[in-house]
Structure 1
């Protein structure tokens, strides 16, 4: 069993705190080395999964024609989203750069592949399989940051449209559409925190002892 030093623990904490959701205005024109991409994928496939089911699949997309089709889906969904925000947030939303689909070096579509058999630990909570895929994405995000590679998660896309574009099997579920690439800088704080879109919650406001009152 590995034993970790205080320095190891501090480094992990630094990576967690330095992780950022990177958008197109930060990516630079520089390819991702195969060794770095392999490390990011390795981090993903070594995430925890319910019943050791490992229900993830990763589609690596470099082709610009495919990426432009996905970006068109983003544009359509983004126009719908604009109508949901009111007041000052309406103007703020229109100023945000919310994706880097074509600006990044590559995209990765992360899918959930359901099992054809009962999965240990997933019999009462079916969604635990999807949560496992989210754990894989988090691992990839942290490894990417440690490698000084930016990663942005684009959620403003129609998952069925993306499935069609990528010719994904009917039973697959799109969990994350990721943009990866080298960046000119990582923000000191999360961009939406800097822009005062939302304030960081105090840990004492979200930790509940024993039960809800």
Structure 2
């Protein structure tokens, strides 16, 4: 089946990609079930290696459980600040999660028994993670198109989180997704605005016919 897109359709896709942001500031509120199902359906349409569809989505509904997940993240924020040494105090000034304020909190995990899937994973077993990341990106872009913010939080110890959610052996949590209405979207990525880092120029990341250093690429 061939589907042609208009110039406006094409421009809209590139615009959504350009204005997507990793959001940390939310205004509470709710996401209706129809919209949430539409977003998760977009995630579920992601490509996956060997069509394994390794993603699992856990919607956190209980306030106490959300607070326990918040506590886990705060513990890792403290540990990360210590590990960052001279940048630790700078890191602590950043807002790196919106767990208490977001409308929906969703845990994304890799399914158990992934060893059964060898197609595309025999030499690269991490392709299950790559597949789940594609699902998260689909959800991110769909949320932005719906004018909803989303933030990916990875600051947690996996095993305590698995215990809290009664996840089976072999499964693995990879993301806490904060999702919901925001007052406004950041003009630029928050870590750029906070001067934590800057986006690298694209030409420094493109190589031809083998690995090149930046200086070698400039000499060609």
- TM bin, normalised by shorter chain, reads over 0.9
What pairs up with 1:57-206 in 2 under 5 angstroms?
A: 57-87=56-86, 89-113=87-111, 114-115=113-114, 117-206=116-205
Q: CA deviation at 1:106?
A: 1.5
- For 1:165 and 1:98, locate their aligned partners in 2 and report how far apart those are by CA, in whole Å: 21
**Residues 191 and 116 of structure 1, relative CA distance in 2, 3 Å threshold:** closer
Tell me by how many angstroms 1:140 deviates. 0.5
Give the corresponding residue for 2:41.
42
Structure 1, gaps ≥5 residues long? none
Q: CA deviation digits over 1:70-108, x for unaligned, max 9?
A: 111111111111123344x33321211111111111211
Match runs of 1:1-40 below 5 Å = 1-23=2-24, 26-40=25-39
- Count of matched residue positions in the alignment of Structure 1 and Structure 2: 210
Q: Point out the structure with the larger helix share.
A: 2
Contact 1:53–1:119 (8 Å) recurs in 2: no
Q: CA deviation at 1:112?
A: 0.7
Deviation at 1:115, TM superposition (A): 3.3
Q: Is contact 1:110-1:176 (8 Å) kept?
A: yes
After TM superposition, give the deviation of residue 139 of structure 1 in Å: 0.5
Could you tell me how far 1:116 is from its partner in structure 2?
5.2
Deviations 1:108-149, CA, capped at 9 Å, x for gaps: 111111435243212221111111011100100110111111
- The normalised TM-score by structure 1 is 0.94
Q: Distance in 1 between matches of 2:192 and 2:117?
A: 42
Normalised TM-score (structure 2):
0.91
How many angstroms does 1:195 deviate by? 1.4
Q: Does structure 1 retain, via aligned residues, the 8 Å contact 2:50–2:117?
A: no
CA distance in 1, matches of 2:138, 2:193: 25
What is the RMSD computed on CA atoms of the aligned residues? 1.3
CA distance in 1 between partners of 2:16 and 2:149 (Å): 12
| Separation in 2, partners of 1:15, 1:70 | 30
8 Å CA contact 1:62–1:105 kept in 2: the answer is no
